[in-house]
Amino acid sequence: MKSVTISVFKVVNRGEIIRNITDENKTAALVLGGMCRAYYVDEEGNDITRGFSIPGTLCMDEGLFGYPESIVTWETIEETTLMIFDVAKIKDIILKNDELKNIYIMLLENALRYKIYRENGFLVENASERYLHFRKMYPMICDKVKQHQLASYLGIKPESLSRIKKTLREN
């Protein structure tokens, strides 16, 4: 019987870059513990958070969605345990198994649902509503990330997030 290794486990220290923008997307990872952040740096040098990965979610996942190279930089927010797997091998296994195809479809649906949620927030919610909604859905993230990272994710300045938090505490 032939054995195929498709994943490795890795513990990554807090603050480490685990994938840079333009790196090849040959691997993706499942976060088993800890937290990661995906971000861009715009032409003016501003660090803009695209999203966070918490236990049970994927990170460095652009390869699963057809991107040959990373479109963001991925870093760890805290010590993080990852199950890193080969994208080509896992997709080959998925395509040969109906149950895994269903899981993959669920993953894609969740990614699309998240994109719709995020877009909706920017279209119909003000900054305070976006913060409250995010805090309700992901309280564990709000308490662990730096204010500027959360603010950039919400599409506001850190000073605005401070004002929102102060107003909420006063009310």
Cα distance between residue 5 and residue 25, in whole Å: 18
Condensed to tens digits (0 to 9), the pLDDT of residues 135-168 reads 998 999 998 999 999 999 999 999 999 999 999 8
Tell me the pTM: 0.88
CA–CA separation, 161 and 147 (whole Å) = 8
| Whole-number pLDDT of residue 92 | 92
Q: Is the pLDDT of residue 169 over 90?
A: no
* Res 4: pLDDT: 54
Strands (E), 62-135: 73-76, 80-86
In the prediction, which pLDDT does 89 show? 92
* % of the chain with per-residue pLDDT over 70: 98
pLDDT digits (tens, 9 = 90+) for 57-72: 899 999 988 899 999 9
Q: What domains appear along the chain, each with residue ranges and CATH number? A: 7-90 (2.60.120.10)
User: Is the model's pLDDT at 2 over the cut of 60?
Assistant: no
Range of lowest pLDDT (3-7, 27-31, 93-97, 107-111): 3-7
Chain CA centroid to CA 146, Å: 15
Residue 3 has pLDDT above 60, yes or no: no
| Tokens of residue 157, six digits | 């300045």
DSSP the chain: ------EEEEEE-TT-EEE-TT-B-SEEEEEEES-EEEEEE-TT--EEEEEEE-TTSEES-GGGGT-SB-SSEEEESS-EEEEEEEHHHHHHHHHT-HHHHHHHHHHHHHHHHHHHHHHHHHHH--HHHHHHHHHHH-HHHHTTS-HHHHHHHHTS-HHHHHHHHHHHHH-
Q: Quote the tokens at residue 153.
A: 């994710």
